[in-house]
Amino acid sequence: MKQLCIVLDRLRSAHNTGNIFRIAEAVGAAEIIACGYTPAPPHPKLEKTAMGADKMVPCRVMPDSATAVRTLREEGYRMILAAECMPGSRFAWEMKYEFPLAIVFGNEALGVAPETLELVDGLVSLPMFGEKSSINVGNSAAAILYAVIAATRYGVHV
């Protein structure tokens, strides 16, 4: 895949983070940026879930996701999105992506930090039909990242 960065904003679970490392490796992501208290390699629980992907996908650590977004802008990223299901968001398969691309995934209870939401180019989401309107961040990352692949590699848009 073209240059893609995954930004993880204050994820609590090393298991979720490890799962996202596996997804990142599977889609050919350039790197992961772990922000705030997101577990980062080396971490025993993350390593167990990542099954070696933590050694294959480069990882940087930054104090918060707003710093990560500002850094990526300085590095020339053309599009930075936040994965959030809120007014103004577009479904992942409706987006026209520009590269280099970064997507910020937030804490399952808190979402992406408000100060980061002010800095991104847009919001990408998945439809929610149930009452809970919430899925695991690893599942969300997988669905959104594969929608990016479908749109950019195969030209699939809805």
Is 52 part of a structural domain of the chain? Answer: yes
Can you give the pLDDT at residue 129? 87
Residue 145 confidence (pLDDT) above 80: yes
Is 59 part of a structural domain of the chain? Answer: yes
Is 158 part of a structural domain of the chain? Answer: no
Residue 1 confidence (pLDDT) above 90: no
Q: Which 3-state string (H, E, C) describes 6-52?
A: EEEECCCCHHHHHHHHHHHHHHCCCEEEEECCCCCCCCHHHHHHHCC
Is 100 part of a structural domain of the chain? Answer: yes
Residue 2 confidence (pLDDT) above 70: no
Is 86 part of a structural domain of the chain? Answer: yes
Is 112 part of a structural domain of the chain? Answer: yes
Please tell me the total count of domains within the chain. Answer: 1
Can you give the pLDDT at residue 131? 81
- 158 pLDDT tier (thresholds 50, 70, 90): low
Place of tokens 């240059």: 3
Residue 157 confidence (pLDDT) above 80: no
Is 116 part of a structural domain of the chain? Answer: yes
Read off the tokens for 41: 């390699």
Residues 32-80 pLDDT 10s: 999 999 999 999 999 999 999 999 999 999 999 999 999 999 999 999 9
Distance CA 135, CA 109 (A): 11
Number of H helices, E strands in the chain: 5, 7
Is 65 part of a structural domain of the chain? Answer: yes
- Domain CATH for 58: 3.40.1280.10
Residues 71-122 pLDDT 10s: 999 999 999 999 999 899 999 999 999 999 999 999 988 999 999 999 999 9
Question: Domain range holding 119?
Answer: 4-153
